[in-house]
Structure 1
Amino acid sequence: MSPQLTSRSADLKRLRDEGYAIEVRSGLLLMHHVPYVDRQRKVRYGVLVSQLSLAGDVTVTPGTHVAMFSGAEPCDHLGQPLDALINDRTRQTPGAGVEIDFTFSSKPAAGYRDYHEKMTTYATILSSPAQALDPTATALTFPLIDADAEDSVFCYEDTATSRAGIGATAERLQGLSIAIVGLGGTGSYILDLVAKSPVEEIHLYDGDTFLQHNAFRSPGAASREDLEQAPYKADHFAALYSRMRRGITPHPFYVDESNAEALRTADFVFLALDSNSARRLITEKLEDYQVSFIDVGMGVYEAQGQLSGLVRVTASTPAQRRHVHDHQRVPLAEGEMPNEYQNNIQIADLNALNATLAVIKWKKLCGFYLDLEQEFHSIYQIDGNILTNEDTP
Structure 2
Amino acid sequence: MLPQLISLNDDLKRLFDDGYELSIVGGQLVVSNVPYVAADKSVKRAALVSELHLNANRTLAPKTHVMRFTGDHPCDKHGKELPYMKHGTSRETISEGIVVARSFSCKPTSGAYPNYYEKVTTYASMIAVHAQQIDPEATPRTHAVTQIDEPDMPFRYLDNASGLAGISEMAERVAGQKIAVVGLGGTGSYVLDLIAKSWVAEIHLFDGDDLIQHNAFRCPGAISAQTLLERPKKADHYAALYDPFRKGVVAHPYYLTEENVSELEAFDFVFICVDKGSAKKTVAEHLEKTGKSFVDVGMGIVVAEGKLLGVVRTSASTPEDRGAFQKHVRFGDGDPDAAYTKNVQIAELNALNACHAVMKWKKINGIYLDLEGEMNSNYTIDGNHMSNE
Give the TM-score band, short-chain normalised.
0.5 to 0.7
- Counterparts of 2:253 and 2:226, CA distance in 1: 20
2:238 maps to 237
Secondary structure of the structure 2 residue equivalent to 1:269:
strand
Q: Post-superposition shift, 1:150?
A: 8.1
Given that 2:151 and 2:175 are in contact with CA atoms closer than 8 Å, whether structure 1 keeps it comes out as no
Given that 1:311 and 1:381 are in contact with CA atoms closer than 8 Å, whether structure 2 keeps it comes out as yes
Residues paired across the two proteins, number: 281
> What amino acid is the match of 2:383?
G
Alpha-carbon displacement from aligned partner over 1:336-370 (angstroms, at most 9, x marks no partner)? 9xx9xx85111000000000011111100010000
2:352 maps to 353
1:389 maps to 388
Could you tell me which runs of 5 or more consecutive residues in structure 2 were left unpaired when the two chains were aligned: 24-30, 36-75, 77-81, 87-102, 115-148
Secondary structure of the structure 2 residue equivalent to 1:24:
helix
Closer, same or farther: CA 343–359 of 1 in aligned 2, 3 Å: farther
In the alignment, is residue 24 of structure 1 matched against residue 23 of structure 2?
A: no
Compute the TM-score of the two structures, normalised by the length of structure 2. Answer: 0.65
1:223 maps to 224
Q: Post-superposition shift, 1:314?
A: 0.3
Match of 1:53 among 19, 35, 42: 19
Given that 2:5 and 2:12 are in contact with CA atoms closer than 8 Å, whether structure 1 keeps it comes out as no
- Counterparts of 1:56 and 1:303, CA distance in 2: 62
Q: Post-superposition shift, 1:24?
A: 3.0
2:322 maps to 321
> What amino acid is the match of 2:190?
Y
Q: Post-superposition shift, 1:222?
A: 0.8
Secondary structure of the structure 2 residue equivalent to 1:234:
helix
> What amino acid is the match of 2:2?
S
Q: Post-superposition shift, 1:118?
A: 11
Q: Post-superposition shift, 1:171?
A: 1.3
Q: Post-superposition shift, 1:160?
A: 1.0
- Counterparts of 2:320 and 2:357, CA distance in 1: 18
In the alignment, is residue 2 of structure 1 matched against residue 8 of structure 2?
A: no
Secondary structure of the structure 2 residue equivalent to 1:170:
helix
Compute the TM-score of the two structures, normalised by the length of structure 1. Answer: 0.65
2:287 maps to 286
> What amino acid is the match of 2:378?
I
- Counterparts of 2:378 and 2:112, CA distance in 1: 56
Could you tell me which runs of 5 or more consecutive residues in structure 1 were left unpaired when the two chains were aligned: 7-20, 31-50, 63-108, 128-147
What is the aligned-residue identity percentage? Answer: 48
1:366 maps to 365
Secondary structure of the structure 1 residue equivalent to 2:179:
strand
Tell me the C-alpha RMSD between the 2 structures.
3.2
Q: Post-superposition shift, 1:23?
A: 3.9
Given that 1:61 and 1:112 are in contact with CA atoms closer than 8 Å, whether structure 2 keeps it comes out as no
Secondary structure of the structure 2 residue equivalent to 1:300:
strand
Equivalence map 1:74-223=2 (5 Å): 121=108, 124=111, 151-223=152-224
Q: Post-superposition shift, 1:119?
A: 11
2:265 maps to 264
1:85 maps to none
> What amino acid is the match of 1:53?
G
- Counterparts of 1:3 and 1:353, CA distance in 2: 40
> What amino acid is the match of 1:244?
F
- Counterparts of 1:224 and 1:54, CA distance in 2: 52
Closer, same or farther: CA 5–366 of 1 in aligned 2, 3 Å: same
Q: Post-superposition shift, 1:53?
A: 3.1
2:97 maps to none
Secondary structure of the structure 2 residue equivalent to 1:295:
strand
